Structure 1
């Protein structure tokens, strides 16, 4: 991949999802496990089901997965029917469903990385989809990390 913008997009997406490399970070904590996958690995289904300010980590996670699915569809020039509100209705998950949410998020992420690797250049629409995906995913990473703090505070009371 020779396109510097595609390299940068891939780097930032990898930091968002996989965490930073070698104690170096562009915007997350420069330590292992600070990306979305490392953060979610530490969450039980029970904690993922606790409502914080009207939503759950399970809903945040499924919404992040859904956004990646929409982005992947867009990059493949598909126009699927969308239901943005569906993921926000998730309140409780069991261990199996929680594992499924995490697996599906990882699958959508892997699909996105493969698509990025197949690109040679960027047009405005593709650039917007990819940059929007970084911003959206980083937002939800931050939201989930703040929700974890709130859940820990609740458990200490």
Structure 2
């Protein structure tokens, strides 16, 4: 940890906190802000392709579309980081997922996991934490929390109590 008299956050401290927060959001709950079993991948493991395809209303993509959108967002952040500048993305295309079969659903989850791992690798090795990267890090955490909440709310409507 950095000293209490320092006016800045050490890169290693920021990186470790970000990685732990992302790990909680995606993989393994530590109790920072989620309850046990509620990370993105833990949640997705309990969703069938049929459930992921179910329409949630005219202004809300199905769960499969939400998963694709999360992946697309992470890919966009990675592209921005690699370019060192904001790159315009086709956000509408990230929602263009309809019904999925079992193989397509597994592929969507696998693609999200691959993208998440690439993001972790970038965070673990990046030494240049400028304002754009720090802002992007906060954006990732907020974006994931928002869409994880949407997915969990959708499940409350789709899956019977058990």
Corresponding residue of 1:20: 29
Corresponding residue of 1:127: 134
TM-score (norm 1): 0.88
Corresponding residue of 2:70: 64
Q: Residue deviations 1:10-41, cap 9 Å, x none?
A: 111110000313xxx11111x1x310001001
- Find the aligned partners of 1:2 and 1:59 in 2 and give their Cα distance: 34
Q: Residue deviations 1:64-102, cap 9 Å, x none?
A: 010010011112126666211112221200111111100
- Find the aligned partners of 2:146 and 2:20 in 1 and give their Cα distance: 17
- Find the aligned partners of 1:8 and 1:121 in 2 and give their Cα distance: 16
Report if the CA contact (8 A) 2:11-2:129 is conserved: no
The RMSD of aligned alpha carbons is: 2.0
Runs of 4+ in 1 over 4 A off after TM superposition: 78-81
The number of residue pairs the alignment matches comes to 150
Higher Cα Rg, which structure: 2
Corresponding residue of 1:9: 18
Q: Which runs of 5+ in 1 are unaligned?
A: none
